[in-house]
Amino acid sequence: MNAEPVYKLLTEEDWLAAEVSGVTATALDLADGYVHLSTGSQVRETARRHYSGHPRVRLLRFRLDGLGDVRWETSRGGDLFPHLYGPLEITRAEAAIWLKPGPDGAPLIPGDF
């Protein structure tokens, strides 16, 4: 699992706050006590479920190496999701793009990202 990149989705408001603080800090992450991440096979469903209807969503891609205390824990549908117990610094992202909503309102994620 460690060679696969992981992804973080942020609303535009969360991204603007992250630019100021240097770390992601969504309300859900703060409430749960860890940073919610997704694998490549999970990120589209995460975007659909939690970010539909947002005009712009920021998608960040990270390498697991060096992120810190990442634990693979059972979540939606029994899948193992990566959860980071510690801060997620946006400067550690290897790539970032803006997503726009598709016809159904869910953010469109390019196949090669």
Domain boundaries, position 49: 6-99
Q: Model-level pTM? A: 0.93
104, part of any domain: no
Which phi and psi angles does 94 have, rounded to 5°? -85, -15
How far is CA 38 from each of CA 21, 41, 60, 105, rounded to the nearest angstrom? Answer: 22, 8, 10, 20
- The domain that holds 77 is classified in CATH as 3.20.170.20
50, part of any domain: yes
45, part of any domain: yes
Q: Residue 7 corresponds to which tokens in the numbers above?
A: 């992804």
What is the chain's pLDDT, residue by residue, as a tens digit (113 residues)? 457 899 999 999 999 999 999 999 999 999 999 999 999 999 999 999 999 999 999 999 999 998 999 999 998 888 999 999 999 999 999 999 999 999 999 999 998 88
What are the residue ranges of helices labelled H in 1-113? 12-21, 27-32, 43-51
Cα 70 from chain centre? 13
**CA–CA dist 82, 23 (Å, integer):** 17
75, part of any domain: yes
85, part of any domain: yes
| Res 111: pLDDT | 85
| Res 3: pLDDT | 75
| Res 81: pLDDT | 97
61, 4 Cβ separation under 8 angstroms: no
